[in-house]
Amino acid sequence: MQLAILLEDFCHESTYIRGVSKNTIRRYRQNISYFITATDSQTIQKVNEQVVKKFFLHGRIEKQWKTSSYRTYYMTLVVFFRWCIKQGHLEQNPMEDFQLPILEKSLPKKLKKQEALLLLEYAYNYPYTQSYLKYRNHAIFSTFLFAGLRKSELLHLKLSDVDLENLTLFVRQGKGNKDRIIPISYTLAQSLNRYLLARKKSRKTCPEFFTSSNRNGGFTASGLKIITKQIKTASKLDFTIHKLRHTFATLMLEGGCDIFSLSKMMGHSDIKTTTIYLSATAEHLRSQVTKHPLNRK
């Protein structure tokens, strides 16, 4: 049986039966297609433990995969091979005796408070060709820094998801296909309101909250990449969109937010994921160490 055909069947079932997200399906396609090409395994009959082991060694030695990349390929292939066994295309999983390497515990990279403020200043004062871009881009970066949304969550935000009257954002089908409500601050609400006025003035009527400047449609990932590059160059700040999410989390903790509430706002399925930010903020740790009873006179 051709692996390419099995991959299509696997992705089809994962989408319509298991309800796997589009991002996960994209990862399945990319990783399994690369495995087929790299190992020259056109059929499932050619797949065995030695072929798979050689693939991972090549990735670690020649491609210099990080542990996170290794684990991503591992999780994709082990799920795919289990499916192949269930469908009767394999007798046993060629990755049955594989062990996952321990993931390095590196602190999430973030911007400092002053750097975050500087970013917002550049986003607002950049010499744009039209005023609409000033209000939209400031609102976009404000949403990342004040609400901690993921890139895909911001791009999929609908006009009806933003409730400025009740100061909430509704995230539809975030990571893990989970909905969540995020409270927003007055500062973010002001930025969003300025953008909505500019949006109305520009006669944007599409359902997406953030829109393109030259058409009546939703803002795109490529457009976000362009404005991120513009602000990075102008401000000389080294940041990514995901780094802004890390910045939101650490600043919230420094401001006194409890870890449980932060976990809910971030959309983490396991609070352990959120606890890494406790190590990333010296201010939070400093405030906690003062609680030692011997400090009291």
**How confident is residue 280, by pLDDT bands cut at 50, 70 and 90?**
low
Give pLDDT tens digits for 35-74.
999 999 999 999 999 999 999 999 999 999 988 899 999 9
User: Does 113-287 match 3-86 at the fold level?
Assistant: no
Q: 113-287 has which CATH code?
A: 1.10.443.10
In this structure, are strands 162-163 and 168-171 parallel, antiparallel, or unpaired? antiparallel
In this prediction, residue 176 carries a pLDDT of 65
In this prediction, residue 283 carries a pLDDT of 56
275-286 burial, b if ≥16 CB within 10 A, otherwise e? eebeebbeebee
**How confident is residue 156, by pLDDT bands cut at 50, 70 and 90?**
very high
Residue-range domain boundaries for the chain: 3-86, 113-287
Q: Residue 102 above 60 pLDDT?
A: yes
Give pLDDT tens digits for 190-240.
999 999 999 999 999 999 999 999 999 999 999 999 999 999 999 999 999
Cα(61)–Cα(58) distance, integer angstroms: 5
Determine phi and psi for 87, rounding to 5 degrees: -85, -5
Instruction: Tell which CATH classification among 2.40.170, 1.10.10, 1.10.150, 1.10.1660 matches the domain 3-86.
Output: 1.10.150
